[in-house]
Amino acid sequence: MRNVSKTYFDAAGTPHVALDGIELEIHENEFFTLLGPSGCGKTTLLRLIGGFEQPTSGSIAIFNEEMAGQPPEQRPVNTVFQHYALFPHLNVRRNIGFSLEMLGRDRAEIADVTDRMLGLVGLDAMADRMPDQLSGGQRQRVALARALAPQPKILLLDEPLSALDLKLRQKMRLELKALQRETGITFVFVTHDQEEALAMSDRIAVLADGRVQQLGTPEEIYDAPANRFVADFIGGSNLLEARVSARGRVRVSDLGELDAETGQVESGKPVTLCIRPEQLVLSASGADGIGPFQVIDRTYLGNAVAFHLKAEGQMVTAHMPRGGARGQLDFQPGDQVYADFEAGALRVLIQ
């Protein structure tokens, strides 16, 4: 994608920019995710790749072939939609083989490919069932098998897990990633679910306001967010307002000074500090870390306890694992605590 933009016009002729100068290169055989909140442009971008819409400006090339004006059926792409769109009057086998029939493949090839797809998604025993006789997860597998049957070079997935319950979504994440590895097809996956993106992707493009905010591996996106939006959107984050006090030092209100990588930021400039809740360690002593904070509330999370803290207008959440030191979990609302973390855990974001 080279400088791809898409503008829509409402009934009054007012322009609305959905995508603004997108520059992306998706690699062959990778699981690539477009991640962002509703209205950020990720589904629009997916539709442009698939040929369901054309860009207002810029160009899209697939395997070095320009796609300008090419309709969906002439692109080496197939799509799994959010609601699967199975044919209710066709059984599982016929649904999977339908696209091959439309391509004019002979019956023997259709039967062979359909059997292979049924085995790939684990639905051999359900080949003769109708869609309304299947669970949500089974219908999703049929949609996947149908999209994979023509062997596209790229598979586009538009939030295909959003209609499933939590347990089934978690199971299907593993199955989708395994399918991608087994088939070697490039998957371009759209979601607003950060956990989904982190769990499955080789690389992630985080979108907001029609622009790419950051591109990288799940580890890069989570551990080194490029800006405040990415830090706030991906996972749980503590964002603290601070000022650079000297090279390599930042001051957080009256809570103390911290060592941090400030780069070329001048002394006195405002910055935002990002630290993940699981990276904080709480103690009753002020010898280490910053504080004091007051414990406002505590939440039981099963494998951890979340402590919600406040001081000097700064709100902080710390996740303390239940397998850690017992004393770290004994704090109650009203207690005074200090927060510490390991070197390198703090990320300085320029405002």
pLDDT of amino acid 351: 60
Closest CA to 220 of 211, 230, 212, 232: 230
Q: Tokens representing 212?
A: 């790419």
Residues 6+ apart with CB under 8 A from 147: 78, 79, 80, 99, 155
Tell which wins on pLDDT, 288 or 198. Answer: 198
State mean pLDDT over 299-313: 91
Rounded to whole angstroms, the Cα distance separating 167 from 259 reads 41
pLDDT of amino acid 210: 96
Tokens 């360690």 belong to residue: 281
Beta bridge partners of 205: 34, 215
pLDDT of amino acid 286: 72
State mean pLDDT over 324-333: 74
Rounded to whole angstroms, the Cα distance separating 288 from 338 reads 7
pLDDT of amino acid 234: 92
Which stretches within 213-272 are classed as H helix? 218-223, 228-233
CB 242 within 8 A of CB 252: yes
Indicate the DSSP class of residue 318: E
Residue 76 has pLDDT above 90, yes or no: yes
Condensed to tens digits (0 to 9), the pLDDT of residues 125-168 reads: 999 999 999 988 888 889 888 988 898 999 999 988 877 777 87
Residue 310 has pLDDT above 60, yes or no: yes
pLDDT of amino acid 324: 62
Q: Tokens representing 16?
A: 């609305």
pLDDT of amino acid 325: 58
Tell which wins on pLDDT, 198 or 287. Answer: 198
Residue 242 CA neighbour count, 13 Å, CB half: 32
Condensed to tens digits (0 to 9), the pLDDT of residues 208-245 reads: 999 999 999 999 999 999 999 999 999 889 999 998 98
- Amino acid, res. 290: I
pLDDT of amino acid 327: 56
pLDDT of amino acid 326: 54
Q: Read off the pLDDT band of 174 (50, 70, 90).
A: confident
Residue 51 has pLDDT above 90, yes or no: yes
Return mean pLDDT, the chain.
90
Phi, psi at residue 188, to the nearest 5°?
A: -115, 110
Rounded to whole angstroms, the Cα distance separating 51 from 100 reads 20
CB 147 within 8 A of CB 113: no
350, containing H or E segment: strand 347-350
State mean pLDDT over 182-199: 93
Least confident of 81-85, 143-147, 225-229, 336-340: 81-85
Residue 170 has pLDDT above 90, yes or no: no
Rounded to whole angstroms, the Cα distance separating 141 from 145 reads 6
pLDDT of amino acid 12: 92
State mean pLDDT over 82-98: 90
Stated pTM of the model: 0.86
Rounded to whole angstroms, the Cα distance separating 253 from 198 reads 33
In the chain, the percentage of residues whose pLDDT exceeds 70 is 98
State mean pLDDT over 43-58: 96
- What is the total residue count of the chain? 351
Tell which wins on pLDDT, 186 or 303. Answer: 186
